Structure 1
Amino acid sequence: MEHVEEIGSELRGRVSIVTGAGGGLGRSHAMLLARLGSRVLVNDMNLEAAERVAREIADASGEALAFAASVTDEAGIEEMVARVMATWGRVDILVNNAGILRDRSFAKMTMAEFRAVVDVHLMGSAICTKAVWDIMREQRHGRVVMTTSSSGLFGNFGQANYGAAKMALVGLMQTLALEGEKYGIKVNCLAPTAATAMTDGLLSEESFARLSPDLVSPALLALVSEDAPTRAILCAGAGHFARSNVTLTTGVHVGGGADAPRGVVANWHRISDRTGEIVPDYGFAQMERELASGPDEARSRGGAMA
């Protein structure tokens, strides 16, 4: 963002809040949103860092505010949103980016370390989203991005706390997307791979360069634009982008009774067969599929018991 002519129009008139935006990935997100025309509230616990990013945006002819607050501080976040509303009168985009790491094997991890990570990633995202939810409902427009992780989606050694929090955000996204749909609110997840202060010392110089946060942030436009999807999990890193999905296999009707436990074991390969798996539109899809299944369906497929 060096010249005024670089300011785009895709998000002109929109107002964004980016948490944890004093550096790293959050800064990259804030800079991109401003370059696309959005006015941006730069949130960080460190006021000096937030102000520095806000100045960078202003120096490039964008509009930005800085606000220091922990995402776990409900009163502070409410004050932050009130500041945005008093200044710009609306909130269109919330990027829940703030996070911490307390990596340790589960055997050595304390519950305080587990709780601290869950509080920031999960509760912090819920607190910030709750603070803007009614505003978005009333204006019938909103875009919320949760920051999940491959550590939550697929697991990662030493990150039980982080992975649990990050997968919980997928569940939060799934439900909020359903509840927000009729109000024009779309909720998605971004799973970034980026070299930031949280990964300092874990990567080689070459990997650090290839995993620049600037190569993740382009994913945001797809998730917050007028034509954005909802309930998408977009994985991004090193300029590569992919979708991740929570799926449901066709499964097998085993029934109840004394033989049911052995039937599940005996049919494990068929239960796990991914042929014809679906991405359910809502949680009750599992129940609907289960109720539609039965002895007649099982016989038509050659029997449930292997």
Structure 2
Amino acid sequence: MSESFRALVVDQSDATFSLELKELTLDDLPPGDVMVRVAWSAVNYKDGLAGTPDGRIVESYPMIPGIDLAGTIIHSEDSRFKEGDEVIVASAQLGVSHCGGFSEMARVPGDWVIPLPKGLSLKESMILGTAGFTAAMSIQRMEENGLTPEKGPVIVTGATGGVGSTAVTMLAKRGYTVACGTGKDTAHDYLRRLGADEILSRETLSNPKKRPLLKMRWAGAVDPVGGETLSYLLSTMKWGGSVALSGLAGGPAFSSTVFPFILRGINLLGIDSAHVSHTYRQKVWNRLATDLKPEGVLDQIVMEEVTLEELPDALSTILKGGIRGRQLVRLA
């Protein structure tokens, strides 16, 4: 195959690092069962890390970053899919050890491919993307551990980010009372539109005296922040509550004790969107197209649409915390 296409390529050696828009051919892509003409991708924090020399995300070079893509199949050697099918590929090893979504073409293993669920467009699927999938998986896991709206309020940390924004609106749709933690004073109206009932400053989500137990407040928490924010959450969960932890924007280290777990029976749920089974992944995506789909507010979550040419600046911006909601990458 010799058809040419454009892609953003990151490369690194002992002495050099580069992030460049290149013209490639299909022969440059890694093996896979399914060829996709990519229509949309999205910018995630992990993609930002892939675009830096010290990100420690990319496993081999050269690499096309982009852990999300949505598009149309143009060739398939997997009997489950045919030419013309609209599909999603999100997370797995995309953009980390296998060339990803910042490309007009992608070739991937069939086991990574999710048929676009009825109720979602290709663009909507990337407004959600891995961030929305992570938020939905967080809710799914907490509900599997007994969370219901009647149990009490759920707090979302880092609420203006991709995971946070999508989690707020999904929880609101499900009937939960939603509290938001954010360090952005200018984002309060945005969070209210998404469905927030209460907004707390980042500074209030702390436990400076390192007390193992504080007053019980939350039945659940969606936490893409980690760090000392997680320490606060563990000390303030209601009995039997759950914290769904999916990120480390606040740092990888946190302090706690066994007391929240053995005296309040709380659950700390690790959310890893890359290694879940295909069946579970499809189950969560089906929820994103039905009871968790943020009706009427998806466009409000989009901060901007960027092209491949504009993508390097977008990758830099997300690492600086300059993103509200989602940045889409328009490829078609």
Pairwise TM-score range, normalised by the shorter structure: 0.3 to 0.5
Higher relative contact order (CA 8 A, sep 6+): 2
* TM-score normalised by structure 1 residue count: 0.35
Q: Which has the higher strand share?
A: 2
Rg larger in structure: 1
